Amino acid sequence: MEEAFLLICDSCFAFRPFTAPAPCRPEDLHGHPTLGPFVTEHEHCRPPLRMSDLTDPAVEGYREHYEEA
């Protein structure tokens, strides 16, 4: 069964929603047609990419950051 997640880069304030079977790790998504490039782009960021559920409180602030930019 697939679950909804967010793939989050706290360093760049970037995130992508996706669904995948649990458990899943960011490094498992390199071959994903849509998320693979996002994972590759952020693989050297520190802190590293992390996964969270759709209620992650940081994402609201990241949305505001993008709206201001």
- For residue 65, pLDDT over 70 is answered with yes
HSE (CB half, 13 Å, CA atoms) of 55?
0
Distances from the Cα of 57 to the Cα of 10, 21, 60, 63, angstroms: 12, 23, 6, 11
pLDDT tens digits along 27-64: 999 999 999 999 999 999 999 999 999 999 999 888 87
- For residue 66, pLDDT over 50 is answered with yes
Arithmetic mean of pLDDT, 3-31? 91
Predicted confidence band of residue 68 (pLDDT cuts 50, 70, 90): low
pLDDT tens digits along 20-30: 887 888 999 99
